[in-house]
Structure 1
């Protein structure tokens, strides 16, 4: 059974999630194929598009190995070698997994990560390190400096699966976040924002950009 068919069948029994509107323009031939596939599987066009997007997202996650524990451990080991040399980090607010986690970080002014091995990213933050909080689809929405003190809390009913640090001098950019395209332009390089946390050796350029960006 193909993964797409599994997703379609699961969707019929899954609870309804909150939906957000979006606009998508398709080439004529592709649109015709989607409509035909929807008819074949007795789905609405919207349901068909949703399942196709979900399948594409799963493929992208597998390619980037975002949820691969061994790959995450390798990344952390490589970045530990930079410890002491890099004082800037970009932290994804986990919105793709939990809107509640994202809102908690912004509301409380903390940098957090969840579950082994991703939670150990927080342990690498030193006092005075600058942490940029990145929201998927929006950009850098807040930033502050780490205290160096790792705090531990439960996540849902899972004991000690949240590691976090409070961020000093915390500043929200709710009125004017710094989008991904602007960050890449500022650094003149590609940046992987979907990873839990990545070192940003050239992060001073982003901090300098934010100082002028907010006033424009």
Structure 2
């Protein structure tokens, strides 16, 4: 729902209301009164809906949906850096639609094939799209064992992430970005550890849904590393 849709819906509320006395900053109340007049609704309606949205956001933050997003490094050797350095969770081309289901308040883990869980954080935005994402990828069709590296422009869906943790270490030397930044293996949660302690779910998809119990346990174990 866009902000415009939300404003339009202010005029079509049917929920039961209860009268309460509240204290609001004078300048804020004056602005709300002006907005209410322009929308031809009551200022109480605006205050009521803002409060309802706050309750929904609070409940979402305390009961998020949990997901694992694969960085797809089998084809994109720097996909994980794109996400972690850009504070986002992304998917490209045919897999990009998996990002559309993520909403603010969801909790996401970034998984890197052959390495494990390398980052986690809270979704901060609705999904956004770009059709000019420059990607570095392995051309596996040309050679699966020693694929040549290509550069392409791919379409990408992404959400912004407020990361709690990124398992990155930075070298002191001035190197290329893919050399300067590397994974801190001591702060990674391996796939084998996930399967042993949390769930037997395979990491064979771009997005994996977790139960609340699985998500909370994975978060606790990963952040403690």
TM range (shorter): 0.5 to 0.7
Once residues 149 and 170 of structure 1 are traced to their aligned partners in structure 2, the CA distance between those partners, rounded to angstroms, is 19
**1:4-41 Cα deviation digits (max 9, x unpaired):** xxxxxxxxxxxxxxxxxxxxxxxxxxxxxxxxxxxxxx
Contact between 1:109 and 1:170, CA under 8 Å: does it hold in 2?
no
Contact between 2:119 and 2:163, CA under 8 Å: does it hold in 1?
no
Once residues 139 and 131 of structure 1 are traced to their aligned partners in structure 2, the CA distance between those partners, rounded to angstroms, is 14
Q: How does 1:1-216 map to 2 (within 5 A)?
A: 87-116=65-94, 118-154=95-131, 155-156=133-134, 158=153, 161-174=155-168, 175=184, 176-187=187-198, 189-201=199-211, 202-212=214-224, 214=225
Once residues 101 and 173 of structure 1 are traced to their aligned partners in structure 2, the CA distance between those partners, rounded to angstroms, is 14
Once residues 131 and 163 of structure 1 are traced to their aligned partners in structure 2, the CA distance between those partners, rounded to angstroms, is 15
- TM score, norm. by length of structure 2: 0.52
- TM score, norm. by length of structure 1: 0.54
Contact between 2:69 and 2:207, CA under 8 Å: does it hold in 1?
yes
Return 5+ residue gaps in structure 1 as ranges. 1-84
Which structure would you say has the larger Rg? Answer: 2
Query: Greater helix share, 1 or 2?
Result: 1
**1:43-67 Cα deviation digits (max 9, x unpaired):** xxxxxxxxxxxxxxxxxxxxxxxxx
Once residues 108 and 156 of structure 2 are traced to their aligned partners in structure 1, the CA distance between those partners, rounded to angstroms, is 17
Runs of 4+ in 1 over 6 A off after TM superposition: none
Return 5+ residue gaps in structure 2 as ranges. 1-62, 135-151, 169-183
Q: Give the count of matched residue pairs.
A: 126
Cα RMSD after superposing both structures: 1.9
